[in-house]
Structure formats: C-alpha cells, structure tokens
Structure 1
C-alpha cells in the first residue's frame, strides 16, 4: 500500500472548498485503487489537502498523472503548486 499526502494554499473560501469537495465525492469513490481519502486542513499554515490510501503505487501514479491533479491549480486557485509526499505503508493496525 501507498499513502499520498497532498497539501496546498488556495484563494478559495472554506465554503467554496466544502462545495468543491462534496462535488467530487463520486469521482473519488470511483477511482481505481483508491482505498480511502481524508480531506484535511492545516491550522498552522491555512493549507488544505488530502491524505489518500492507495492499493498500489501504480494506482497512485495514475492519479498523479491524471486529470484531477492537473486541474488543481485552476480549480482551487492555488497560490503555488501542491506539496506532495508519498509514503510506503509497512504495517496496518487494522486490515
């Protein structure tokens, strides 16, 4: 399993972000290989983003190379490119 942590600064309001997130729920539910996505906010920086759990590195890479990530700058009015961290999952408490 792989974990993707993505965060970014946006010009969108909290209400606009909530609407964008809710509008994308079905799209994310249908992504091949995506096990779970958490929508997150970093209080100290004001950044927002997601924590994603993927079945495989290939599924994660397909997402990064796909249309959702490519549309982030325009859709979310990013102040700069997203910060991306990829983590290998070694063990899980629950399966």
Structure 2
C-alpha cells in the first residue's frame, strides 16, 4: 500500500479546521515537531506572531508556495506581503478550477 499522506512542510498552505480562525487559510512558517506547527497568513496573523496549531486541527493542502519556502530557507523569515500573495494566488487557482468545472 502506497503512503500518500501529505507531510507538513514550510510553505505548505493549510485550511484551519478548529479554533477562532476556522475555515481560514494560512501557510506553515515553521515546524515544531510531529504534532505542532506555526502558521501565519500575513494579514490577521503576521509572520512575527504566528499561531501554534496542532496538525490535527489543520487540513494540509497539496499546494506548497515555493516563494515562501525559499524565502524562509534563505533568510529565516518571509514578508507578510509574500504570505498574502501566496494565499491569494492559491485561492484564485482553486476558484478558477471550480469555475472551469462549472460550479
């Protein structure tokens, strides 16, 4: 049996399933351990004050923002504008796919 589970990684876009920010999208900016990650969206939740979330409370999406991942890998941080841009780009691509399918 093939293991197709999506792994948490820096730059991965997630959907929040539990808590105050439920149904919102964010980006993983740091991995703490195999249960917890730090997330930020560049808007309400800035990079400098990310939210610690249990992975069980997140839906890991199959999209990773290369710009965010590269920026964090190279400089150890990412701008809030880049986080917002990555999320907007992802949401636009999802909406256009849904639109093409005739939703």
Same-fold call, TM > 0.5?
no
Question: TM-score per shorter chain, which class?
Answer: under 0.3
Structure with the bigger RCO (C-alpha within 8 Å, sep 6+) is: 1
Normalised by the length of structure 1, the TM-score is: 0.23
Normalised by the length of structure 2, the TM-score is: 0.22
